[in-house]
Amino acid sequence: MENNQVKERGMKILFLIAACASILAVVLICLFLFANGLPAIFEIGPGKFLLGTKWDPTNNVYGILPMIVGSLYVTAGAIIVGVPIGVLTAVFMAEFCPPKLYKIMKPAVELLAGIPSIVYGFFGLVALVPIIRNLFGGSGKGILTASILLGIMILPTIISISESALRAVPRSYYEGAVGLGATKERAVFFTMVPAAKSGIFAGIVLGIGRAIGETMAVIMVAGNTAVMPTSILSMVRTMTANIVLEMGYATDLHREALIATGVVLFIFILIINLCFALIKKKEA
């Protein structure tokens, strides 16, 4: 009995240390970002930095509005492409998929989650870019191509979490709806899906987080032009791409401006998570 208590106490301490380490890592990241990024924002000027439309490090002009707009457009496009496909695929796998087909689809979804982003980028560059170029003209690189590619990339996250949420709903919900005369489709879409909406929304939020933070794949298909986009075919540069492309040679204020871009990106993700927490609290 004493040995079990010692083991239990030891595991509690181990879990506490792991939790504290995770929290400490987040705190250190926040301190580094804000300590190095905020001085640059105030030196440049918050208005000029956040609302400026020109990024020209050689002349100490740092306006990241084109990158903010580009990130929002690409992320919104990824949501439009990925969320309906991901949620409907999760519903199919949880409620309609034959067992033999499920044995193929489940590993395929897991494989999608494990593919490196650079491989997605090569796929976008070799397959999607020529298709968009042939259909709409131009270079083929831009918001539309990046949105389609990111929509594909966020599918595994949305599908896996949404499917788990649907399977966690008590089966009595479905049986009760069918017992009251609902068809299978109505029972699933009007009973099971609403009951699992919290988990489904969590998967969507995680997918959005991946989309807004993706770098390598976007660099390869977005065009990386730091100008305000005028259409869905316009070439854009996202905030993450801006950091990666220039951090290797940046110095002084230029480097601090790139870190400040990371601060803005970090705040964006915090806002997304805060909105999700508020929605969950409101539902509860």
Which domains does the chain show, CATH number per domain?
Answer: 55-283 (1.10.3720.10)
Please give the model's pTM, rounded to 2 decimal places: 0.86
Q: For residue range 171-207, what is the model confidence (pLDDT) as tens digits?
A: 888 888 888 888 888 888 888 888 888 888 888 888 8
Contact predicate 87/199, CB 8 Å: no
Distance CA 73, CA 80 (A): 11
Show Cβ contacts of residue 256 under 8 Å, excluding neighbours closer than 6 positions. Answer: 36, 37, 39, 40, 43
Show Cβ contacts of residue 81 under 8 Å, excluding neighbours closer than 6 positions. Answer: 147, 148, 150, 151, 152
Q: Please tell me the number of Cα atoms within 13 Å of 86 on its side-chain side.
A: 32
User: For residue 110, is pLDDT > 60?
Assistant: yes
Show Cβ contacts of residue 194 under 8 Å, excluding neighbours closer than 6 positions. Answer: none
Q: Which of 82, 58, 77, 43 is nearest to 226 (CA)?
A: 58
User: For residue 150, is pLDDT > 80?
Assistant: yes
More confident call, 1 vs 59: 59
Q: For residue range 47-79, what is the model confidence (pLDDT) as tens digits?
A: 888 888 888 888 888 888 999 999 999 999 999
Contact predicate 87/163, CB 8 Å: no
